Structure 1
Amino acid sequence: MIWQRYNARMTDALLTITDLEAAINFWRARSPAEGEELRLCAEASALAKPYALMIVQGATRIAPEQLGDKARAAYEAWRAATQG
């Protein structure tokens, strides 16, 4: 399975689904969806795939290494903007 479920030994290293959702909402507020198809901005779009897969698989946490480069960059930029 690509997405890891909660693992007590790796709690600090894993990203939560709540954090991914907050990051997506941050990017959506910063750059609202566009066009008739309501296309997400690049950052929200990059985070949406791992978020959706986590929901489908019932995962609550994911290792940062499992995010693609664009998703990881969007997540890290959100953290820097919101948590100093």
Structure 2
Amino acid sequence: MTQPITADTAAPIPVADVESAINVWRALSSAPAGVDDGIVLCREARVLADLYGKMIFDRLHSVPASTLSAEQLAALNGARL
């Protein structure tokens, strides 16, 4: 396993890594009972989806790890199985 991503990580986080992490969380989590429309995201995927949306809107190819919240860092690290 690679080193965890921290706020001190020198390499920027590419948008593709954020997208991949969202997909990992979507695959790992199941929808709440009675919901199977594919719209509900688990908490980890939601915080990453917010980041992803901002990156797309701002046309960013990557972001410095130092700009991510603790929750976003945890979600990225949790998706790195």
Q: If the length of structure 1 is used for normalisation, what is the TM-score?
A: 0.72
> 1:67 deviation in Å?
1.6
Deviating beyond 6 angstroms after TM superposition, the runs of 4 or more aligned structure 1 residues are: none
Classify 1:17/1:33 alpha carbon distance in 2 versus 1 (closer, same or farther; 3 Å): farther
% identical equivalent positions: 35
Question: Which has the larger share of helix?
Answer: 1
After superposition, the CA RMSD in angstroms is 1.7
Match of 1:32, as an amino acid? S
Structure with greater contact order relative to length (CA < 8 Å, sep ≥ 6): 2
Residue 65 of structure 2 is matched in structure 1 by 64
> 1:62 deviation in Å?
0.6
Structure 1 runs not aligned, ≥5 long: 1-11
> 1:45 deviation in Å?
0.6
Matches within 5 A, 1:1-84: 13-34=11-32, 35=35, 38-79=39-80, 81=81
Match of 1:17, as an amino acid? V
Match of 2:17, as an amino acid? D
